[in-house]
C-alpha cells in the first residue's frame, strides 16, 4: 500500500476531506468528512466563513486519526480568485469576500478605461470575468491594502494557517489575471493599477511543493494524526480536476462539471491570439507546465439554486429523473447570461427570461430541470465548436468529470448535440487530481501520464455516443439565438 493522502477539497457549496491511497496499482478513495460551505452577508458583502472552513478541516483531520491513520500527507484545493488579506502580525484583516459578491459588477469597464483589454489579455491570456482578483483588488479598501503584509489566495491562506508557511501557488495565482504569461511573474502595470506590490504576494511556487508539517499549536487544540505533512497541490480546484481527468488520445476536451462548468482542453503552449480573445477563452496555468485553455459556463449552480428553492424536496437524481420525462430543447436560454450569476430567485429568473424572449415558461420541477439541462448541453456543444474553431481541429472526445458526470441525461444530450463521444467520470476528479499531485511529489507515481492511466483503471467511466442523428439543426438554431441575444445586450 502507498502512503495515505488526504485531499481537502473546498467547493462553493460543500467541502470535504477525502482519503486516498493505492493498493495493487489501483487508486482508492474514501470520504471521511463532508460539510456545507457557502457565503453569507457580512458588513454588506457576501463573504466566505473561513473560520468555519478551518474548523471543519480540523474536525475532518480528527476523524482521519480516529480511523487509525497517524501519518498522512495533505493537499488543499478550493475555487479560484478569492483571497485573504493578512496583516504584519499574521492575522487576517477581514473575511474574504466571495467572487459572487456584486462589488465588481462594473469593474472591468472601470479598470479598462485607461488600461486596454488587449494589453491585459496579451499579458495574461486570462478571460475577462468581473470577479477576477484583479477587479476585486481594484475595489478593495485602500487603507486595508496599505496595511496588508500578505495577499494570500484562499488555499494558500489555509496552508499558511496550518503550517505557518506562506506561498503563492501558480495554478490559482494565474486566475488573478495578474500573472504575466511570458515572464511568469506578476505584471508590474497590473499590480500598480490595483495598488499592490510584488512583495505582498509570497513566493510563486509550482504544484508539488512541500509546505511542511502542521504547526504544534494546532495539536494543543485538536486531536490530530501524529504527522500531517502539507503539500501545495494544484490548489485551484479546476486545475486539480484536469489532472484527475483520465483522457487519452489527441483531440480531447474536458468538462469539469460542478458548480461551474469548465470546458476546454490542456495545452502545452498558451493560445492568446485574436480568436481566443474574441471568444474570451482563458489560459489558466495547469500543473506540470500546462495551460488550461477553457471557458467558464454557469454550470450546475443553476440547478443547485433551483433545488434549494424547491425546499430541497428533490435530490439531484430525482430532479434529473423528473426532467427525463420532459421533452428536451423546449426553450433556448443563454445559461451564461450574467443574470444567472447570483439572482434573488433562480426559478423566477429562468421564467422571466423565457417570458421576455417569448418562449414557453417552464413550470413544474421536471420542466425547469429539463430546460436547464437542455440548455447547458447546448452551451457545451456550442463551446466545443468554438474551441475546435480556435484550435483548428474538431474535438472528438469529451471527458466529463465532477459531480455533473453523474447526470446521465445531460451526458447523452451533450453527446447527441455536439456529435462527440462523451466519457463520463470520475465524479471525484478534483480530489483525485489533488491526491495525484501529492503522490507524484512523494514518488508514489512517476508522472501525470501514468497517473491518468491509473485513474482510468481505478474508477468507472461510462461512454455515451452521439447516435445516428445528432441534433445539428438544434445547435445551429441555438447558435443563432445566442448571437442575436448577445448583439442585443452589447
Ligand atoms: C470552479 C472554479 C472556476 C472558477 C470559479 C470561481 O470551482 O474554481 O474554475 O472560475 O470556480 O473561483
Give the per-residue pLDDT at 300: 96
Q: Which residues contact 469 (CB under 8 A, 6 or more apart)?
A: 416
Whether the Cβ atoms of residue 124 and residue 187 lie closer than 8 Å to each other: yes
Q: Whose CA is nearest to atom 2 of ligand 1?
A: 79
Cα 277 to its chain centre, rounded Å, is 20
Pull the grid cell for residue 77: 484545493
Q: Is 37 in the pocket of ligand 1 (CB under 6 A)?
A: no
The string of pLDDT tens digits covering residues 397-421 is 999 999 999 999 999 999 999 999 9
Q: Residues 200, 206, 210, 215: is their CA dihedral positive or negative?
A: positive
**363 CA distance to ligand 1 middle (Å):** 30
Cα 185 to its chain centre, rounded Å, is 22
Summarize the confidence of residues 287-304 as an average pLDDT: 97
Q: Is 411 in the pocket of ligand 1 (CB under 6 A)?
A: no
The string of pLDDT tens digits covering residues 66-85 is 999 999 999 999 999 999 99
Whether the per-residue pLDDT at 250 is higher than 90: the answer is no
Tell me, what DSSP letter sits at residue 97? Answer: B
Give the per-residue pLDDT at 308: 95
Q: Tell whether ipTM is more than 0.90.
A: yes
Give the per-residue pLDDT at 487: 76
99/84 Cα distance (integer angstroms): 12
Helices of type H across 164-236: 170-173, 188-193, 216-221
Give the per-residue pLDDT at 248: 82
Instruction: Return binding residues.
Output: 12-16, 80, 236-238, 259, 296, 304, 403
Give the per-residue pLDDT at 467: 78
Q: Which of 76, 104, 175 to mutate to test the pocket of ligand 1 (most atoms within 8 A of CB)?
A: 175
272/274 Cα distance (integer angstroms): 7
Q: Which residues contact 417 (CB under 8 A, 6 or more apart)?
A: 377, 378, 380, 381, 470, 471, 474, 475
Whether the Cβ atoms of residue 38 and residue 13 lie closer than 8 Å to each other: yes
Whether the per-residue pLDDT at 473 is higher than 90: the answer is no
**196 CA distance to ligand 1 middle (Å):** 23
Q: Which residues contact 109 (CB under 8 A, 6 or more apart)?
A: none
Pull the grid cell for residue 94: 477581514
Whether the per-residue pLDDT at 108 is higher than 80: the answer is yes
CB atoms within 10 A of CB 488: 7
CB atoms within 10 A of CB 467: 11
The string of pLDDT tens digits covering residues 51-65 is 999 999 999 999 999
Q: Is 122 exposed, middle or buried (0-12, 13-18, 19+ CB in 10 A)?
A: middle
Atom of ligand 1 nearest to the CA of 238: 9
Pull the grid cell for residue 93: 484583516
Give the per-residue pLDDT at 468: 66
First to last CA, the chain: 57
Q: Whose CA is nearest to atom 7 of ligand 1?
A: 79
Q: Is 178 in the pocket of ligand 1 (CB under 6 A)?
A: no
Residue 237 appears among annotated catalytic residues? yes
Q: Is 238 in the pocket of ligand 1 (CB under 6 A)?
A: yes
Pull the grid cell for residue 475: 445547435
Whether the per-residue pLDDT at 469 is higher than 90: the answer is no
Whether the Cβ atoms of residue 175 and residue 133 lie closer than 8 Å to each other: yes
pLDDT category at 176 given cuts 50, 70, 90 is very high
CB atoms within 10 A of CB 251: 13
Whether the per-residue pLDDT at 490 is higher than 50: the answer is no
370/377 Cα distance (integer angstroms): 10
What mean pLDDT value characterizes the chain? 96
Exposure pattern of 364-398 as b/e (b: 16+ CB <10 Å)?
ebbbbbbbbbbbbbbbbbbbbbbbbebbeeebebb
Give the per-residue pLDDT at 249: 81
Instruction: Return binding residues for substrate.
Output: 80, 236-238, 296
CA atoms within 13 A on the CB side of 227: 9
**7 CA distance to ligand 1 middle (Å):** 17
| Annotated active-site residue in 77, 237, 313, 389 | 237
pLDDT category at 489 given cuts 50, 70, 90 is low
The C-alpha cell 491570456 sits at: 125
Residue/partner pairs of 302-307 with CB below 8 Å, 24 or more apart: 302/335, 302/340, 302/346, 302/350, 302/372, 302/376, 303/369, 303/372, 303/373, 304/13, 304/259, 305/343, 305/346, 305/347, 306/346, 306/347, 306/350, 306/365, 306/368, 306/369, 306/372
CB atoms within 10 A of CB 199: 9
Order of strands, edge to edge, in the sheet holding 252-257? 282-285, 291-297, 261-267, 252-257, 397-401, 421-424, 462-464
CB atoms within 10 A of CB 316: 16
Q: Residues 476, 481, 486, 487: is their CA dihedral positive or negative?
A: positive
**106 CA distance to ligand 1 middle (Å):** 20
Q: Whose CA is nearest to atom 6 of ligand 1?
A: 80
Whether the Cβ atoms of residue 254 and residue 398 lie closer than 8 Å to each other: yes
Q: Whose CA is nearest to atom 12 of ligand 1?
A: 80
Q: Is 262 in the pocket of ligand 1 (CB under 6 A)?
A: yes
Whether the per-residue pLDDT at 124 is higher than 60: the answer is yes
Phi, psi of 133 (to 5 degrees): -55, -35
Summarize the confidence of residues 477-487 as an average pLDDT: 92
Amino acid at each position: 500500500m502507498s502512503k495515505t493522502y488526504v485531499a481537502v477539497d473546498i467547493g462553493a457549496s460543500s467541502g470535504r476531506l477525502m482519503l486516498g491511497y493505492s493498493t495493487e496499482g489501483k487508486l482508492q478513495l474514501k470520504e471521511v468528512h463532508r460539510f456545507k460551505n457557502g457565503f453569507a452577508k457580512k458588513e454588506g458583502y457576501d463573504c466566505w466563513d473561513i473560520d468555519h472552513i478551518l474548523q471543519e478541516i480540523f474536525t475532518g483531520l480528527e476523524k482521519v486519526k480516529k480511523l487509525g491513520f497517524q501519518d498522512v500527507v495533505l493537499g488543499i484545493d478550493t475555487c479560484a480568485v478569492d483571497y485573504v488579506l493578512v496583516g504584519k502580525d499574521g492575522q487576517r484583516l477581514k473575511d474574504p469576500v466571495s467572487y459572487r459578491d456584486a462589488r465588481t459588477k462594473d469593474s472591468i469597464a472601470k479598470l479598462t478605461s485607461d488600461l486596454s483589454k488587449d494589453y491585459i489579455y496579451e499579458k495574461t491570456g486570462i478571460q475577462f470575468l468581473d470577479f477576477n482578483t484583479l477587479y476585486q483588488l481594484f475595489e478593495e479598501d485602500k487603507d486595508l491594502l496599505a496595511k496588508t503584509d500578505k495577499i494570500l489566495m484562499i488555499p494558500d491562506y489555509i496552508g499558511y494557517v496550518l503550517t505557518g508557511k506562506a506561498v503563492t501557488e501558480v495554478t490559482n495565482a494565474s486566475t488573478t489575471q495578474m500573472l504575466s504569461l511570458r515572464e511568469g511573474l506578476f505584471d508590474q502595470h497590473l499590480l500598480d493599477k490595483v495598488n499592490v506590490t510584488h512583495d505582498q504576494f509570497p513566493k510563486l511556487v509550482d504544484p508539488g511543493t512541500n509546505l511542511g508539517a502542521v504547526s504544534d499549536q494546532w495539536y494543543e487544540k485538536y486531536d490530530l494524526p501524529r504527522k500531517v505533512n502539507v503539500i501545495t497541490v494544484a490548489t485551484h480546484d479546476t486545475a486539480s480536476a484536469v489532472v484527475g481527468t483520465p483522457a487519452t488520445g489527441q483531440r480531447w476536451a474536458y468538462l469539469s462539471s460542478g458548480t461551474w462548468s469548465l470546458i476546454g482542453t490542456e495545452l502545452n503552449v498558451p493560445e492568446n491570439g485574436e480568436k481566443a480573445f474574441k471568444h474570451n477563452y482563458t489560459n489558466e496555468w495547469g500543473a506540470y507546465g500546462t495551460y488550461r485553455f477553457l471557458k467558464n459556463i454557469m454550470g450546475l449552480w443553476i440547478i443547485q439554486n433551483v433545488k434549494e428553492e424547491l425546499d430541497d424536496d428533490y435530490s439531484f437524481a430525482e430532479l434529473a429523473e423528473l426532467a427525463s420525462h420532459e421533452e428536451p430543447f423546449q426553450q433556448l436560454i443563454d445559461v451564461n447570461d450574467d443574470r444567472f450569476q447570483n439572482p434573488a430567485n433562480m426559478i423566477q429568473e429562468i421564467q422571466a427570461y423565457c417570458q421576455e424572449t417569448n418562449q414557453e415558461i417552464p413550470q413544474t420541477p421536471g420542466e425547469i430541470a429539463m430546460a436547464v439541462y437542455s440548455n447547458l448541453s447546448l452551451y457545451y456543444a456550442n463551446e466545443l465548436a468554438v474551441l475546435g474553431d480556435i484550435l483548428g481541429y474538431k474535438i472528438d472526445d469529451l471527458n466529463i468529470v465532477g459531480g455533473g458526470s453523474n447526470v446521465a441525461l445531460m451526458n447523452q444530450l451533450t453527446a447527441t448535440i455536439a456529435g462527440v463521444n462523451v466519457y463520463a467520470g470520475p465524479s471525484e476528479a478534483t480530489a483525485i487530481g489533488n491526491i495525484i499531485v501529492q503522490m507524484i511529489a512523494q514518488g508514489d507515481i512517476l508522472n501525470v501520464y501514468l497517473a491518468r492511466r491509473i485513474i482510468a483503471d481505478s474508477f468507472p467511466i461510462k461512454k455515451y455516443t452521439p447516435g445516428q442523428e445528432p441534433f445539428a439543426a438544434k445547435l445551429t438554431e441555438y447558435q443563432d439565438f445566442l448571437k442575436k441575444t448577445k448583439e442585443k445586450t452589447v
